[in-house]
Amino acid sequence: MIQPARAIGWASHLPDEVVTNDDLERTLDTTDAWIRERTGISERRVGGHPPSMAVTAACEAMAVAGCEASTLDLILVATSTTDQHLPAAASRVHDALGANCGAFDINAACSGFVYALVTAYGFLATGMKRVLVVGSDAMSRIVDWQDRGTAILFGDGAGALVLEAGGDGGLVTYDMGTDSASRHILYCDVGSKLQMEGREVFKVAVRSVVDSIQRALKAAEMDAGDIDVFVPHQANYRIVEAVCSRLGIPCEKSVNTLAHTGNTSAGSIPVAIAHALERGRIHDGDTVLLAGFGAGMSWGSAIVRWSA
Ligand code: ACO
């Protein structure tokens, strides 16, 4: 175990406005059947504001944790779509909670939550007691709604996790990496819209996630059979199926919120964790595998022994 810690609070938040595949059929040269077959997505939420979604998820996670904001040692927000160059979105969460600790953002695109989580465990290892980790993105702000190659995939959402040092579980191992030579296949310039070579991203995603998980499993001296719950980044169900099949993880062990959220970037994994916890799919003692990938091209895997 790299760092013992338990999750004492969690929550997710999605904006109210729903855009279904049928809605997109009216404005794009696409069909509901094509989108569902190629991605697994039926609808997504839009109209989100990244710092506000982060605040809502953070406040709910703190309410679940039942602790005062003054007891937090650090606030981390993973986001790449926030509305100000500075200050960080984490500063708004800090203000809304009335916290008195440090607060900063992490931008690793869709890998952001895994990077923030590993960072949180690192700070807990240096002596911090409680860290709030949030992932929040509003991809609807940077998607070109006239581009059928990207508009069908993305949505808005946020999730939060409060970690406390100690307990029987925690971070078992992790793997992070970046294929920076491939950063041109997925990017968004400031003030512009998201550009993506979908087929290339698909291939890099499957390869990097599979390799990353294999490295994390090896470092933990585990194999795929030891994984109880798999929480993948929610980008495309075909990517999840390909990763599961290459690793020998039954797809039923994966958590999938994608059909109703689309890809919410840094929001995707914490939204999926909250979804799984609310449905009793993650239990104390479970070995939970988290795996993210995104622009960079970045990837990150974490194996966590769950303790709440
Ligand atoms: N509706 C209907 N037809 C479409 C659409 C659409 N929305 N998009 C493409 N097509 C057509 C293409 O024009 C092509 O037609 P053709 O055969 O006549 O040339 C055909 O469908 C197949 O196109 P492909 O691009 O090969 O489709 P593919 O199966 O690869 O699916 C997709 C495209 C869904 C984008 C897929 O490549 C994908 O999911 N890639 C990964 C994207 C991803 O995960 N991005 C997020 C990364 S995380 C982050 O950091 C943000």
Residue 206 has pLDDT above 90, yes or no: yes
Q: Is the CB of 187 under 6 A from ligand 1?
A: no
What is the model's pLDDT at position 215? Answer: 98
| Cα of 46 from ligand 1 centre, angstroms | 21
**pLDDT tens sequence across 245-261:** 999 999 999 999 999 99
**pLDDT tens sequence across 283-302:** 999 999 999 999 999 999 99
Q: Is the CB of 205 under 6 A from ligand 1?
A: yes
Question: In Å, how far from its chain's centre is CA 74?
Answer: 19
Told to judge if 256 belongs to the known catalytic residues of this protein, a careful annotator would answer no
What is the model's pLDDT at position 207? Answer: 97
**pLDDT tens sequence across 5-56:** 999 999 999 999 999 999 999 999 999 999 999 999 999 999 999 999 999 9
Given 256, 260, 263, 275, which residue is catalytic?
263
Residue 2 has pLDDT above 90, yes or no: no
Residues 222, 249: Cα–Cα separation, whole Å:
13
What is the model's pLDDT at position 262? Answer: 98
Residues 254, 240: Cα–Cα separation, whole Å:
8
Told to judge if 94 belongs to the known catalytic residues of this protein, a careful annotator would answer no
CATH class of 1-308: alpha beta
Told to judge if 107 belongs to the known catalytic residues of this protein, a careful annotator would answer no
pTM attached to this predicted model? 0.96
Q: Are strands 74-78 and 130-138 parallel, antiparallel or unpaired?
A: parallel
**pLDDT tens sequence across 131-162:** 999 999 999 999 999 999 999 999 999 999 99
What is the model's pLDDT at position 3? Answer: 86
| Cα of 34 from ligand 1 centre, angstroms | 10
